[in-house]
Amino acid sequence: MILITGGARSGKSGLAERMAARHGERVLYIATSLVTDDEMADRIAHHRASRPATWSTHEGFTGLGEVLRTQGAQHDAIMLECITTLMTNLMFAHAGDTPPEQMDFAAIETYIEQQIDALMQAAADCPAPLYLVTNEVGFGIVPEHLLARRFRDIAGRINQRLAANATEVWLVISGIDMKIKGVS
């Protein structure tokens, strides 16, 4: 499991795509985004069109451990884009329409941890290398709103958990990638 982190538009996805492509043509791209508006639909369409025709795509944000178990052996590499979006979707799937002031953030974090643990367990048994893309959300100021602060805290802890279990961790800043964990 290789974790690639950095800020928004830093070049993380490009690095993950290049690294996954080095293993062969049969790459599974796990896309965790949801179409929430026209702009997001355009982004998703652009991403789909830019991927090589030999890559297959799984779109979803739940049960990803099972996706790795059932599809891992059929692919040369797997790329998951992105953990931060996955956490956002899991948070709102668990909380539903609950206002942020009434959300049980401990329960939400436990739910996200369970999904991430299942993903990491499946990754350990998966014959294909797994490239995880995530956002480093801790570089900015403390968010003004409760929901954003709690999300930042959860994301930071989940990223630490993933980094601790990853064989390699890469940080990308302004298109420059640096390996920060793993054998060179």
Which positions are annotated as active-site residues?
Answer: 47
**Helix, strand and coil percent figures for the chain, each rounded to 5:** 50, 20, 30
The amino acid that residue 130 corresponds to is L
Region of 174 please: left (phi>0), alpha (psi -120 to 50) or beta: left
Name the packing angle between helices 64-71 and 105-125 (round to 10°).
10
CA 21 – CA 38 distance, rounded (Å) = 30
Q: Are the CB atoms for 80 and 30 separated by under 8 Å?
A: yes
